[in-house]
Amino acid sequence: MKQGGGMSAADGAAFREVARELTGIALSPEKDYFVEGRLEAVARARGLSLGELAQAVRSAPRGALAQEVAEALLIAETSFFRDPGLFEVLRLQVLPELIAARRAERRLALWSAACATGQEPYSLALLLVEHFPELEGWDVDILATDLSQQALDYAASAVYTQHEVNRGLPARLLVRHFEREAMTWRPRSAVRRLVRFARVDLLRPLPPLPRMDLVLLRNMLIYHDVETKRGVLASVRGRMRSDGRLVLGSAETTLYLDAGFEPSPELGVYRVKDAPSEAPGGGAGGRPDAGAEALDRGPSAPREGVPAVDRGAPCI
């Protein structure tokens, strides 16, 4: 039966199966409108109908085209300063506390763990540049990771449309910290240089990472089952400082999933209360070895054990 004018239920099921198999994301049939919307562009770019695209991924469910389909379904809607109340909490409460705690060592490690097309890590960078001048001279590192290579390529290019900068980005920050290039906008180098990108699969054993002071993991867990959520939370916690903070999406929680986190008074923010030592093979999904492949793509200039990538440059 055709739905939404273009995609059959069987084709929808094929796409959902590819997404589940390659990314672990469980999309329900009710999300077929979303699947259709995302995949029309992929099909069109190949000169295929959605039905032909479905047939192609059925024929080669682990092939390059199937991977492209899965990635297209991963790219979440996002915007600069999505949930402005949360960024106010970061500005007024969380970051001042972390900065005070790190004053002696003068380094701060932040991780946007499901960064999609980059608006979240650049929002963090904008927050730091705009409101925390005392960080001048600190070693500030914002690691931005995602499973989708398409999303990461877009994020690393740092070129945003007028529509994207219209959304959620305060005009004062746009004027002060972006450069306009024809009809597109780009964060200035002072912002871009704070952020580096890498492909990381949170469902697999994580590659070596610095111990994080703050992790943003928003609107990723909601797509996964309980066991996967538990695995991801434990894995992420294993890469956090003992007083680190985790930020989840408004519909997500650590409660009943990971006792190693405790809720902060600030909504959506969780504190580590039990940071395990680095556990080898600590990935979430029982698919060994693959998480590390991601960072290998970057130039290998280790920075305290971290495979470093050039900041602000397309690096993966």
Binding track over 46-85 against another protein, x by CB under 8 A: ---------------------------------x-x--x-
| Among 117-125, 158-166, 297-305, 307-315, the segment contacting another protein (CB under 8 A) | 158-166
Task: For tokens 């003068």, name the residue.
Answer: 106
Helices (H), 109-258: 119-131, 149-157, 162-166, 171-177, 189-192, 226-237
| Among 55-63, 168-176, 230-238, 292-300, the segment contacting another protein (CB under 8 A) | 168-176
Largest CA distance in the chain: 64
Angle between helices 149-157 and 64-74 (to 10 degrees): 60
182 interacts with another protein by CB under 8 A:
no
Helices (H), 60-205: 64-74, 84-89, 95-101, 119-131, 149-157, 162-166, 171-177, 189-192
166 interacts with another protein by CB under 8 A:
yes
273 interacts with another protein by CB under 8 A:
no
Given candidates 20, 58, 167, 188, which one binds another protein under the rule CB under 8 A?
167
Cα angle value 195/199/203 (rounded, 5°)? 125
| Among 44-52, 159-167, 258-266, 278-286, the segment contacting another protein (CB under 8 A) | 159-167
Of 81-120, binders to another protein (CB under 8 A) are 81, 84
6 interacts with another protein by CB under 8 A:
no
Alpha carbon distance 73, 15 (integer Å): 9
Given candidates 136, 171, 265, 280, which one binds another protein under the rule CB under 8 A?
171
Tokens of 168: 């959620």
Alpha carbon distance 73, 108 (integer Å): 32
Q: Return the number of the residue (162 or 300) whose C-beta is nearest another protein.
A: 162
165-175 as b/e, with b when 16 or more CB fall inside 10 Å?
bebbbeeebbe
Given candidates 2, 180, 273, 303, which one binds another protein under the rule CB under 8 A?
180
250 interacts with another protein by CB under 8 A:
no
Binding site for another protein (CB under 8 A): 79, 81, 84, 162-163, 166-168, 170-172, 174-175, 178, 180
